[in-house]
A and B are shown apart, each in its own frame.
Chain A
Amino acid sequence: MNRKSTALIVLIAVVQLAVPAVMIRARERTLREGQSFRFACEPVDPYDAFRGRYIRIAVDTQRVPWTDHEPNTRRSRAMYAILETGGDGYARVASVTNRRPSDAAFVRAKIWALDPASGEAQVRLPIDRFYLPDHEAPEAERAYMRSLSGGSRAADVVVRVRNGDLVVEDLLIEGTPIRVFLRRPPPDSPEAFEGAR
C-alpha cells in the first residue's frame, strides 16, 4: 500500500470529521452552559431538500441603539447583539455593538437595517428554523394557527446563549414543548373531552 496516499486519506478524513465535530462540540457546550432566553415567534412550515422539514421561526427584532456605530458599514456585516429579558419574561435585543461585550449575554448577528442618521440598527438573529420529523412539521403549523385563532400568545422559542454562540433548544406552543403539544389529542376530540371531565 502506498504510504503517502494512506497518510493523505487519513489527513483528509481527520479534517472532514473535525469540521462537524467542532460544530457539535460548540453547540453541546452552549446547550449545557449557556444562558436561557425565550423569544416570541411566528412559525411556518417549509422544506429543505438536504435537511428535511423544519418550522421557520420569525423573531421580531426592533431597531435598537448602535453604541459605536460607523458610517459606511455593510448591511450584512456581523455585529454583536446584546440581549436582555424584559418585564414580560421575553428576551429582546437591547443594543448592538462592534466590539465583543465582556459582561453581557450577546449573540453574533448580521445587520438587517441601518439608520446612519439616528445611529440605530436592526439585526437578524441566527434563529430561523426548528427541524421536526417530516409528518410533524405541517401538523405543528396547523397547531400554531389553531392556537393563534384561540387568542393565546401562541409560539415561543427557547434558546441558549454562550460566548456569542446561540443554539435553539426548544419551540413552545402555548408554553408546552412542541413535540409534547403535538401528542396531545385535538381540543374537539372525545379524548380531550374525557380529559377535561
Chain B
Amino acid sequence: MCGVARNKRWTHWHATGFYNVHTMKNRNAWIRGEIEAWQREGLIPSALADCLLARYPVTAPGSRSALQIGFAVLGALLIGGGIILLLAHNWADLSRPMRTAIALAPLLMAQILALFGAARGWIAAGWREGVGVFWTLSIGAAVALVSQIYHLSGSYDSFMLTWVLLALPVVYVMRSAIAATLYLAGVLSWCASVIEEEWPIALGVWPMIAAVVPFLLRASRRGVFTPGLALMRWAVTVAVIAAVSMTLAGEMTGLWVPLFGTLFSLFWLVDERFLRHAPSWRHRPMRIAGTAGFVLWALILTFEWPWREIAHAESVWMNSEARVVAAGAALLAMMGVAMVLLIGARTRLSGPDWIPAAGFLAIFAAYAGVAQVGADSLVPLSFSALVFAQGLLVVMRAMRRESMSGVNAGLALLAAVLGLRFFDSDLPLVARGLAFVAIGSAFLAANAVLSRRLRRRA
C-alpha cells in the first residue's frame, strides 16, 4: 500500500514538472516531496514539516527552469498588456452588451485556466506565475473596460483600489510572486494618488502591504528560495520604504531621522530572524537595505543640518496634532518590534553587527536629546565616531575571516567618514591630511597582507 502511494507520488512529481529538473540531481527536491506527503498523510505535524523543509531549501532553479519562468511571465505580460490596449481602443461600433462581454472575457479565461491547472495538478512555477500575471492584468482590464463602456467618472484611486483588492487572492491561489509584485506596485500607485487629499485613507497602504507578508513568511519558514520570491522580497522592501516616506516621514519636521534609522535596523533584524539561512545575498534585500541604509543614515547624521532641523521642529509643525501623534505612535511601535527582535537575536550578533542592529536606539536617544535640549556639535561628532567604529570592526572581522571584500568594505566606510569630514572647515588641514594618508596606507597594507596570506594558503 505504502509502495503504491510512494510510486504515485513519484509519478506526481514527474508530472508536475516543478521537481523534474531536480529529481535526479537534487536530493532536496526529493526529500521535500516526501516531507510534504508525510504532512498531508498526517504522519507529522505541520510545525515539524516546516522545520524539516527549512533544512532542505529549494534553491534557485537551474538556468533552463528560470528561463521557462521568465518566458511564461513575459508571455503573460505581453498578452495581458496587449488585451488591455486592444480593449482600450474602444470598439464603439459594437453594441454595449457585446463590449461588456468582451471586457469580461479575459478575466473569465484566466479563471478557467486557473481551474483547469488546479484540476490537472499543474504546479510548475512557469504555469503558476504566467497564469497569475495574466489573471491579475485581466482583472484590471475588466474594471477599466466597464468604466470605459459606461463613461464612469474616472477617479484613478478608486479604479486602482478595486483592482488591487480583487487581485490579492490571485497571489495566494496561484502562489505567484510576480502577481504579488504587481499587486504591491498597484498598492503604492493607489497610495500615491490618494495621499494628498485623504491621509487617513492612505494609511490603508499598511494592511495592504501586510496582506502579502504571510505568503513570504510561509515560503521563508519552508526554506523556499526561488527567483520569483527573491523579486517579491525586494518588492516588499521597496514598498515598505516608499510607504514610510509617503505616509509617515513628512508628518513632523525631523521625524524622518529616527523613523528611517529604526526602519533600517528593523530590516536588518527581520532578515536576521527569518532569512539568515538564505542561499545567497539576492534573497536578502532587507539585509542589504538595512546595512546600506543604516550606513547612509549614520553618514547623513554626521552633518549638523539634520540636528538643527530637529532642534527647531516645534516652530514648524507641518500637520495636525492627530497626524503627528499617529506618526509618533508608528515610530514607537516599530522600535518595540525592533527591540523584541534584537533581544531574540542578541546571542547571534558579533562585533560590527551590533551597530545596524541596535543603532536605532542611539539615533532615537540623540533625536530625543536634541529635540529637548537643542542641537550640539557633539552629536554629529559622535555619529562620525560610530561610523568610524563600524568601519574598524568590519575590517577586523574581515581580517579574521580572511575576506578581501570585507576588508575593502570596512576601509571604504572609514574613507567615507573621513571624506565627509574633509569638507568640514573647522578641522585643521594638517589633521585632515594625516588622516587621509593613514587610511590610504591602511588600504594598501591590509590588501597586501591579506593577498600574501591567501597566496600562501593557495
Q: Does B216 make an interface contact (CB < 8 A)?
A: no
Q: Does A48 make an interface contact (CB < 8 A)?
A: yes
Interface mask (B207-239 → A, CB under 8 Å = 1, otherwise 0): 000000000000000000000000000000000
CB pair B90–A132 under 8 Å, yes or no, is yes
In the complex, which residues 146-188 of chain B have their Cβ closer than 8 Å to any Cβ of chain A? 146-154, 159, 162, 166, 169-170, 173
Chain A residues near B87 (CB-CB < 8 A):
52
| Given A51-B144, A76-B198: A6 in contact with B119 (beta carbons within 8 A) | yes
- Residue from the list B111, B118, B166 in contact with A2, Cβ < 8 A: B118
Chain A residues near B205 (CB-CB < 8 A):
none
Q: Does A104 make an interface contact (CB < 8 A)?
A: no
CB pair B153–A126 under 8 Å, yes or no, is yes
CB pair B88–A52 under 8 Å, yes or no, is yes
Complex: A48 Cα to B145 Cα, angstroms: 11
Complex: A27 Cα to B141 Cα, angstroms: 18
Interface mask (B113-124 → A, CB under 8 Å = 1, otherwise 0): 011001111000
| Given A16-B139, A20-B104, A133-B89: A9 in contact with B197 (beta carbons within 8 A) | no
Q: Does A168 make an interface contact (CB < 8 A)?
A: yes
CB pair B154–A10 under 8 Å, yes or no, is no
Complex: A23 Cα to B92 Cα, angstroms: 19
CB pair A5–B173 under 8 Å, yes or no, is yes
In the complex, which residues 130-152 of chain A have their Cβ closer than 8 Å to any Cβ of chain B? 130-134, 136
Q: Does A117 make an interface contact (CB < 8 A)?
A: no
CB pair B121–A23 under 8 Å, yes or no, is no
Interface mask (A61-101 → B, CB under 8 Å = 1, otherwise 0): 00000000000000010000000000000000000000000
Interface mask (B124-147 → A, CB under 8 Å = 1, otherwise 0): 000000000000000111111111
* Size bracket of the B interface: 35 or more
Chain A residues near B90 (CB-CB < 8 A):
52-53, 131-134
In the complex, which residues 1-55 of chain A have their Cβ closer than 8 Å to any Cβ of chain B? 1-2, 5-6, 8-10, 12-13, 15-17, 19-20, 23-24, 27, 48-54
CB pair A130–B151 under 8 Å, yes or no, is yes
Complex: A43 Cα to B21 Cα, angstroms: 59
Chain B residues near A27 (CB-CB < 8 A):
150, 152
Q: Name the CB-closest residue of B to A124.
A: B153
Q: Does B84 make an interface contact (CB < 8 A)?
A: yes
CB pair A134–B89 under 8 Å, yes or no, is yes
Q: Does B69 make an interface contact (CB < 8 A)?
A: no
CB pair A16–B111 under 8 Å, yes or no, is yes
CB pair B104–A6 under 8 Å, yes or no, is no
CB pair A51–B119 under 8 Å, yes or no, is no
Q: Does B249 make an interface contact (CB < 8 A)?
A: no
Chain B residues near A126 (CB-CB < 8 A):
152-153
- Residue from the list A8, A50, A168 in contact with B151, Cβ < 8 A: A168
Interface mask (A167-193 → B, CB under 8 Å = 1, otherwise 0): 110000000000100000000000000
Q: Does B331 make an interface contact (CB < 8 A)?
A: no
- Residue from the list A2, A17, A54, A127 in contact with B108, Cβ < 8 A: A17
A-B pairs with beta carbons under 8 Å apart, 24 shown: A1-B119, A12-B111, A12-B170, A12-B173, A15-B166, A16-B139, A16-B166, A17-B107, A20-B142, A23-B143, A23-B150, A23-B152, A24-B100, A24-B146, A51-B88, A51-B148, A53-B90, A54-B151, A76-B197, A129-B152, A131-B148, A134-B88, A136-B92, A167-B151
Which A residues have a C-beta under 8 Å from some C-beta of B?
Answer: 1-2, 5-6, 8-10, 12-13, 15-17, 19-20, 23-24, 27, 48-54, 76, 126-134, 136, 167-168, 179
Q: Identify 18 new A-B residue pairs, CB closer than 8 A, beyond the known A1-B119, A12-B173, A126-B153.
A: A9-B173, A13-B115, A16-B166, A17-B104, A17-B111, A19-B162, A20-B107, A23-B147, A24-B146, A27-B150, A51-B145, A52-B88, A52-B90, A53-B90, A54-B154, A133-B89, A134-B88, A179-B92
Which B residues have a C-beta under 8 Å from some C-beta of A?
Answer: 84, 87-92, 100, 103-104, 107-108, 111, 114-115, 118-121, 139-154, 159, 162, 166, 169-170, 173, 197-198
